Structure 1
Amino acid sequence: MNLKSIRTSKGLSVPDLVKLSGVPRRTIQEVENRDDCRVSTAIKLADALGVSLEELCRDTKES
């Protein structure tokens, strides 16, 4: 997951993303730490960040 890097590149704090996405703060923090989440949560986060699911979820370390 690229959540933290996308969030910070857009200048958003975790509380900002909570307001935009409706996803609880704890869930966002867990996603950033675990690098995994439910599809429904990923959709909310991608929509709030204005990115595709692929952009949010794709492991950029892979070629």
Structure 2
Amino acid sequence: MNLKVIRTGKGLSVPQLVELTGLSRRTLQDIEKRGDCLVSNAIIIADVLGVTLDELCKEKAED
């Protein structure tokens, strides 16, 4: 899960992402720490960040 990389690349803090997604701070922190989440949450996050699910969820950037 590339949430932290994408979030920080867009200049967003966790509290800002909480506000934009409506997800709890704990949920977002757990996703960043564990690297997995519900598909429904991933869709919300990807929409807010303006990325695809593939970009959000893929393990490693392709060369």
TM-score, scaled to structure 2? 0.93
| Matching residue's letter, 2:6 | I
Letter in 1 for 2:41: T
Partner of 2:25: 25
Q: Moved runs in structure 1, 4+ residues, more than 2 A?
A: none
Gaps of 5+ in 1: none
Question: 1:62 and 1:38 mapped to 2: Cα distance?
Answer: 24
CA RMSD between the two structures: 1.4
Q: Partner amino acid for 1:28?
A: L
CA drift at 1:61: 6.1
